[in-house]
Structure 1
Amino acid sequence: MREEINKTIQVLKRGGLILYPTDTVWGIGCDATNPEAIAKVFKLKQRDERKSLICLVHDFKMLNEYVEDVPEVAYDILKYAAKPTTIIYDDPIRVAENLIAEDNSLAIRVVQDQFCKQLIRKFRRPIVSTSANISGVKTPLNFKAIAPEILEGVDYVVNLQQSKQTAQPSAIIKLKNDGTVKVIRN
């Protein structure tokens, strides 16, 4: 796994796109602080740039480095969540502007997957994670279902967990600074 992490980091540092296994579905990723790399993700997915992307961090400490004020309830939600959970936070900081939604929010997941945790910890920056599909096309639930144009459109495909069977997208919760909680996806 160490070798895959090192190869992946080299691609991320060059502003490249990766295809990698996450704690949910296979994702297209890049450096969440690199606006050019993020633009490439939107282009590859043929996704409207006004639609936001998710980014991944490795722990609560890192989460606090990229959100101005993490509401206390977020820690309880994440601690007791039965499945991987992405939370949309107000007032993200230190990420590329084109990653931030029009309402000044950003979807962030604290990953549980060991490869992702180690990759992000060693890279020392959050990584974009968006499903490995063209926008509007069904999310592939395993590696074999990923379309050829996605496989060919990234700079590196992580050589781990490719035989892993069906996965599911994360739950998504929008958590406003005023305490409002809205479930977007269960």
Structure 2
Amino acid sequence: MDCNTEVYKAFEVIQNGGIILYPTDTVWGIGCDATNEEAVKKIIDLKKLQQNTEMICITNGEKMMYNLFKEIPDVAWQILDLSEKPTTLVLDNPRNIALNLVATDKSLGVRMVKEPFCFKLLERMKKPLVATSANVSGMFAPKSFKEIAPEIINGVDYVVNLHHDKICDKPSTVIKLTNDSQVKIIRK
């Protein structure tokens, strides 16, 4: 399968409120339209999450970031410019997003991606995409497609047919930035 065909198929499922299993710039993920609360609930149920703090969104650029956050600390852009590996920023007071994605402290994890499939899908969606590891809560995050549990594969509406042989063992760095200039490294 080629990337454009998979983008089209994934977009159709997402547009209809479905959830997908897809390769991200880090690990295999489960995703949906990050503005659709019902679709987000499907992921929460599939992963058996107690709360939604394990889920982040991916975007494809500054415009989408500013659509999600009215205020983005200047240091966020410096971190993204200097990062040599994918970096998830946890920022305060997201907007234009499904409420069941927002953490109890009113923050949201977000990562800008360059990976071609994700970038093109986001370009087509014109909205952020949920990106959460393809596992049941509390279980290990799979490093390859073949390690993904059958209940996850069978629980999504579409499995993207790309990179099934790729090893994905590099989760993103996670840094929490608050609007009052506090910086906390959650995962290196």
The alignment's TM-score, normalised by the length of structure 1, stands at 0.98
Structure-2 change in CA distance of 1:158 and 1:176 (3 Å): same
Choose which of 61, 66, 81 in structure 2 pairs with 1:59.
61
Q: Name the SS of the counterpart of 2:85 in structure 1.
A: coil
- Output the aligned Cα RMSD: 0.9
- What is the CA–CA distance in structure 1 between the aligned matches of 2:121 and 2:157, rounded to whole Å? 16
1:28-47 Cα shifts (integer Å, max 9, x gaps): 00010000000110100001
Conserved in 1, the CA contact under 8 Å of 2:69 and 2:93? yes
- What is the CA–CA distance in structure 2 between the aligned matches of 1:118 and 1:156, rounded to whole Å? 17
Match of 2:136 in 1: 134
Shift of 1:167: 2.6
Match of 2:32 in 1: 30
Shift of 1:53: 1.1
Conserved in 1, the CA contact under 8 Å of 2:53 and 2:102? no
Match of 2:50 in 1: 48
Shift of 1:114: 1.1
Choose which of 162, 165, 170 in structure 2 pairs with 1:163.
165
1:83-140 Cα shifts (integer Å, max 9, x gaps): 1000000010100111111111100000121110110011111000000000000100
Shift of 1:50: 4.5
The aligned runs of 1:1-186 (5 Å cut-off) are 1-186=3-188
Conserved in 2, the CA contact under 8 Å of 1:12 and 1:31? yes
Q: Name the SS of the counterpart of 1:64 in structure 2.
A: helix
Q: Name the SS of the counterpart of 1:32 in structure 2.
A: coil
- What is the CA–CA distance in structure 2 between the aligned matches of 1:50 and 1:125, rounded to whole Å? 19
Q: Name the SS of the counterpart of 1:138 in structure 2.
A: coil
- What is the CA–CA distance in structure 2 between the aligned matches of 1:134 and 1:50, rounded to whole Å? 13
Conserved in 2, the CA contact under 8 Å of 1:45 and 1:135? yes
Q: Name the SS of the counterpart of 1:65 in structure 2.
A: helix
Number of aligned residues: 186
Conserved in 2, the CA contact under 8 Å of 1:84 and 1:112? no
1:61-104 Cα shifts (integer Å, max 9, x gaps): 21111012011110110011111000000010100111111111
> Aligned AA for 1:95?
I
The alignment's TM-score, normalised by the length of structure 2, stands at 0.97
- What is the CA–CA distance in structure 2 between the aligned matches of 1:150 and 1:118, rounded to whole Å? 24
- What is the CA–CA distance in structure 2 between the aligned matches of 1:69 and 1:146, rounded to whole Å? 37
Structure 2: which 5+ runs fail to align? none
Structure 1: which 5+ runs fail to align? none
Conserved in 1, the CA contact under 8 Å of 2:26 and 2:168? no
Shift of 1:165: 1.8
1:10-49 Cα shifts (integer Å, max 9, x gaps): 1001110100000000000001000000011010000112
Conserved in 2, the CA contact under 8 Å of 1:27 and 1:131? yes
